[in-house]
Chains A and B, each alone.
Chain A
């Protein structure tokens, strides 16, 4: 057993690639060993800006001998067959074995020297190394076939024990000599063997281990800060980056003019961190301190004084620029900046950012005007669905749980709408400021600062600052109403627009981050308990688009709508549009561009499917059982996310109780019998499993137009109106049969009104009362009675029970 050292020395590798490269090297090396039947006991990896290295511990000196057996032709086969077999195996006939009339060749393969295996494997690994970007260099690059590496490769150390493994890649020949630190020890360093590697480098001022350098940087930077009564803002990414830029890291503390602190702290932090790779510091009170820690790569002969002085100067120049931008940008009102958005393309097919802002402003205003986003205090429904528990939903009085909340009080609502529109019109203005040009990641944040500095209302400044939120999971979800309106409008617009030009996410590709936008929309709705139909908001966005494509100015259309009367019969989309706006408006569009309406309908469907899909993913990730999600989605007809999720939550709680489990068992038994008997599948379950919207026209409309007494209510009455009703039975019913009918009579209206009040736990409790009667029914009543009348009636009764359950969820989708 022995150890093997491999070091690949090159010019400075990008910091961000080093750790992955180190992992790749270990993996490729292990694979190459495995291919030759070798395995190291352990592989230790090292990486610095200039070297990738590994030490494979405990390698055998040679591979194991192998005996290979090849089956040949029958001994009776023609001579050509035997000759072919001898050629293939390279043996003579007297070396073959005759086993029961079949020739066998047994080839003894002796073990190979591990050094030979390595000498063969290493050039192959180097040539095929998976760098994200690689290059050619030097004389060898006369041809494009020359070796490619991330930066010029300068040397290879390959030592099996103390023996050099002879390797040559292009002009680079392996040896036992490397280089030390570029400045402290530029001379050759001879490595005696794998065990001597780390210490030999340390002697040459190189810390070979990435993690050790990280630890040194974190510790010494912290000490430097503490020595000045400051604390380091922890930043693991920056520690790793600095470890990737240094072989001998030396953190040094410097300060900057406190006057710069008048610039927003985010700007200072980005300047320090992104531009200069400095650590940020805080004082005892937690405020940004006018100081920084840089990480030098040398132990400077003057203790670092010149380095700190130089870095201070660079930082001062950068902060001067930042302060200049800050002061310049502030001088111009945001509304003036916003005018320049006409020059910025949002997407080549979607016009300018100014166009987007216009749409977002209208939608944000609409969200408030419709009472969807209201001032918190007057929110009609604040059940913490998605963040709270089922109990929150239970606690909501039925009278407040209206699916379409009315507009908020006139004055307050219109002021809120004004603020939302104002914020929306200004929310992208900072994109044309100098500061955001310099630091694109400060979009929104700078706009917020500029708005406040220019005396705009806090609600507007906050909305500009936060309207990109939530960015991904775990980010704060806005709750201030103006922010919610703008954020929601911005995201809905982005999703609708990209779907409208047929650029939805596909597979792993989501170049416009539409999935993230959808998640943002859902989080905003759930966290704020917003009660509205996503469908109607999207219809509205599509409506804007239809107008835009019809090349008709919005105001002109609006005027025509006012002038004309209602004349045309609406189609499906027309109906939707009409509900949101006016039938006349649709009529005018229909006359102008009828084909756009067909296209719009397809777009609407695909967006709603997309939301359904995202919601399922989100709920699954939140740990909700997928079968329960499916069971609720199978109902269709629901695009009020708050209500939909309340139902899922209640269902999850219910099926985990004994009552729920038993009801489910009873339900399944009934469903099985119905299935076996070929009873028609329930017609009340709408077969639109992947869609939040109903496949059946009018479902959504029905429940909305007539309030709570819509689809759900009629569903609970059963399919055929009078089946399963004891009074209509043409025979003497069994007691259990009568009891079940009575239980249904009692449970159905209770469940119905509970559902109407969005008290889904209550609805399920009502259904749970069916459990004992259904058990008794199965024990004492024969469904498959020879009498066709009894049989039909009993099947109808079971169907009625099933349908009652389906009022809450499609239990057939629930597992267990």
Chain B
């Protein structure tokens, strides 16, 4: 980074984005306190994408992908990493410019670096959601997913929300010019990303792949499913959606343990989708929104 004498540390990258999106009128939220596979699962995105109300929010969301664990041995793959998530509803007319402004803010000059919007349609079968947009490339590297939500939980988004998902570790590695995620400067006081997370990756990879008790996991899945139905019946859709999140992560753990066959996989995904869609339907109903 010739133009940036002092590239941002990992935490300054987050703080800079927070400050920037705060200036754009976003509510700055803290991470949702549950295990999710992506920032989109945060109710601030999934549920707020539904209905007519305006909503602008930004937050960091730790994302858990048990099958991506590599015991801390792969410089690019982690079972726990951070996404920076922005949602703006309705999507503002200058969302692309706002996004490019955030890149400038963190030290990426678009006259020095090649920024491209490359077609990438987004779909989440487990959320019954899809949208159109791009993966944003910086010098050939995907740094952000940019999506205009068209449907969520099987419902048309009215109005449409724009969603930005930055891969924070990648972006930081790029800005700092390091080859291993563990070498990232977490702050400017000598703490690295490895200091914070390497041991976590080792232990959690071991648990995800080897230790987690699959009988319990199967049971948790069933319990979450039952609790989700009960919550929908009791008209507490936010609680129901938490159970869908729980079931989704439990399913991911079962996958990592390699105990779900190809045929079963589709059926489990269908069950998670039913929970998510049921929660969305209950949420719509509770708010009195028509499909």
A contacts, CB < 8 Å to B: 11-12, 14-16, 49, 133-144, 150-152, 154, 182-184, 245-246, 276, 278, 294, 296-298, 300-302, 305-307, 309-311, 313-315, 317, 321, 324, 343-345
Contact = CB atoms under 8 A, between A and B. Distances in A.
B141 interface: yes
Contacts of B110: 182-183, 298
B114 A14 contact: no
Given A135-B150, A142-B159, A310-B139, A12 B113 contact: no
B111 A310 contact: no
A135 B131 CA distance: 8
Nearest to A151: B132
Interface stretch (B11-19, B87-95, B249-257): B87-95
Given A152-B93, A298-B114, 5 more contacts: A12-B117, A135-B150, A294-B140, A300-B114, A311-B139
Given A133-B121, A137-B160, A310 B91 contact: no
B158 A144 contact: yes
A139 B93 CA distance: 9
B90 A311 contact: no
13 contacts: A135-B132, A136-B160, A137-B90, A138-B160, A141-B159, A151-B132, A152-B91, A278-B140, A297-B114, A297-B116, A298-B114, A301-B109, A307-B113
B139 A307 contact: yes
Given A306-B2, A314-B141, A138 B158 contact: no
Contact of A154 (B91, B93, B134): B93
B139 A142 contact: no
Contacts of A137: 90-91, 148, 160, 162
B114 A11 contact: no
B139 A314 contact: yes
A-B CB proximity, top 4 nearest: A310-B139, A14-B119, A12-B117, A311-B140
A144 B52 CA distance: 12
Interface in B132-154: 132-134, 138-141, 148, 150
Greatest chain A CB density within 10 A among B1, B92, B109, B117 is at B117
Nearest to B157: A141
A311 B114 CA distance: 10
Contacts of B92: 138
Contact of A136 (B119, B121, B138, B150): B150
Interface in B251-288: 261-263
A16 B118 CA distance: 11
A345 B262 contact: yes
A141 B134 contact: no
B164 interface: no
Greatest chain A CB density within 10 A among B2, B134, B160, B263 is at B160
A343 B139 contact: no
B160 A11 contact: no
A344 B119 contact: no
A302 B112 contact: yes
B90 A306 contact: no
A182 B262 CA distance: 45
B112 A317 contact: no
Given A135-B131, A137-B91, A300-B111, A152 B2 contact: no
B115 interface: yes
A138 B112 contact: no
B124 interface: no
Contact of B114 (A150, A307, A317, A321): A307
B114 A141 contact: no
B203 interface: no
A11 B132 CA distance: 12
Greatest chain B CB density within 10 A among A135, A151, A305, A315 is at A135
A135 B111 contact: no
B90 A135 contact: no
B261 to A, nearest CB: 6
A204 to B, nearest CB: 14
A607 to B, nearest CB: 28
Nearest to A50: B117
Contacts of B96: 11
A306 B113 contact: yes
Contacts of B115: 183, 297
A268 B158 CA distance: 44
B156 interface: yes
A296 B116 CA distance: 9
A298 B115 CA distance: 9
B35 to A, nearest CB: 25
Contacts of A183: 110-111, 115
Contacts of A306: 1-3, 112-113, 139
A348 to B, nearest CB: 8
B223 to A, nearest CB: 27
Interface string B1-45: 111000000000000000000000000000000000000000000
Contacts of A142: 52, 90, 158-159
B207 interface: no
A226 B148 CA distance: 43
Contacts of B116: 245-246, 297
A302 B2 contact: yes
Given A138-B159, A310-B174, A12 B2 contact: no
A182 to B, nearest CB: 8
Given A135-B148, A137-B148, A152-B93, A184 B111 contact: yes
Greatest chain B CB density within 10 A among A133, A152, A246 is at A152
A298 B111 CA distance: 7
A306 B96 CA distance: 23
B90 A139 contact: yes
B196 to A, nearest CB: 22
A301 B112 contact: yes
A78 B263 CA distance: 78
B187 interface: no
Contacts of B74: 324
A109 B28 CA distance: 64
Contact of A300 (B112, B132, B162, B174): B112
Given A144-B158, A183-B111, A152 B148 contact: yes
Given A11-B96, A15-B119, A141-B159, A301 B111 contact: yes
A144 B132 CA distance: 15
Interface in B43-65: 52
B140 A343 contact: no
Contacts of B158: 141-144
B141 A310 contact: yes
Contacts of A298: 110-111, 114
A139 B96 CA distance: 16
Contact of B134 (A12, A309, A324): A12
Given A16-B119, A152-B148, A306-B113, A138 B139 contact: no
Contacts of B157: 136, 141
Contacts of B111: 183-184, 298, 300-301
A93 to B, nearest CB: 55
Contacts of B138: 310
B113 A139 contact: no
A150 B1 CA distance: 35
B140 A315 contact: yes
Contacts of A297: 114-116
B22 to A, nearest CB: 22
A224 to B, nearest CB: 15
Contacts of A302: 2, 112
Nearest to A292: B140
Interface in B97-136: 100, 109-119, 121, 131-134
Contacts of A184: 111
B254 to A, nearest CB: 15
Contacts of A140: 159
Interface string B202-219: 000000000000000000
A302 B115 CA distance: 15
A150 B92 CA distance: 17
Contacts of B174: 310, 313
Contacts of A324: 74
Interface in B148-192: 148, 150, 156-160, 162, 174, 179
